Amino acid sequence: MNILLLGYGKMGKIIGEIAESRGHSIAGKINIDNKEDLQKLDPKDVDVAIEFSQPEAAFENISWAINHGVPVVVGTTGWLDKKSEIEKMTLDKNGSFFYASNFSIGVNIFFKVNEFLSKLMNETTGYGVSIEEIHHTAKKDAPSGTAITLAEGIIKNLNSKNTWNLNGETPSSEESVEITSKRIDPAPGTHIIRYQSPIDDLEITHTAHSRQGFALGAVLVAEWIPEKKGVLSMDDFLSF
């Protein structure tokens, strides 16, 4: 399979290495230094694109793939204000667009544990809930896409919450899930859900030890997506 890498930073390089180790070829490596080369590529030479670039480049990269009939697997976060446009474009073009805030199998299990726990906590009282996420200093967006997904899972199941709040940037309220974002090297990613009360605390934590899990997950999805159509997610891939 010929894989186009849209974004060739630390994650893109690891994805490329894993893809080649699994017998795939790299059709191109597009980053900020050669972004004009994207328009020179022949889409017929690309089976699937994997997009791990920067928030400011993601929309253009994804649009190129969809408009040229190339299935695209996206892990870039921080651009989701335009996600609805991409979803409409995908459906209009009968394309294949896959987005995940995190491709780690372990993290996606953690998402499900988080939702299950929030359902249980919805049946009790006296607990406040918060999220803490820690990433390396090169990560530009905050909160992480993973933290947002976790907050959305809590909001969906906890009747007392209807929004999230980052680092106290807006006035806090009883209805918001507080997210604290920290940038500390060399942390590849830690996410902690805390339920606190005067009586006790309850925590669940996911800690990534490297980027390998994220990268492998993206390659596995890229191997899966060529025969699929529409707007897809990890729930589709893992059949949760």
Q: Report the catalytic residues.
A: 135, 139
What's the CA gap between 112 and 240, in Å, rounded?
9
The DSSP result for 149-194, as a single string, is: HHHHHHHHH-TT--EEEETT-S---TTEEEEEEEE-TT---EEEEE
What does the CA dihedral 59, 64, 69, 75 come to, rounded to 10 degrees?
Answer: -40
112: left (phi over 0), alpha (psi -120 to 50) or beta: alpha
Chain centroid offset of residue 92 CA: 23
| Phi, psi angles (nearest 5°) of residue 199 | -90, -45
Residue 4 dihedral angles phi and psi, to the nearest 5°:
-95, 125
Specify the DSSP class assigned to residue 79. -
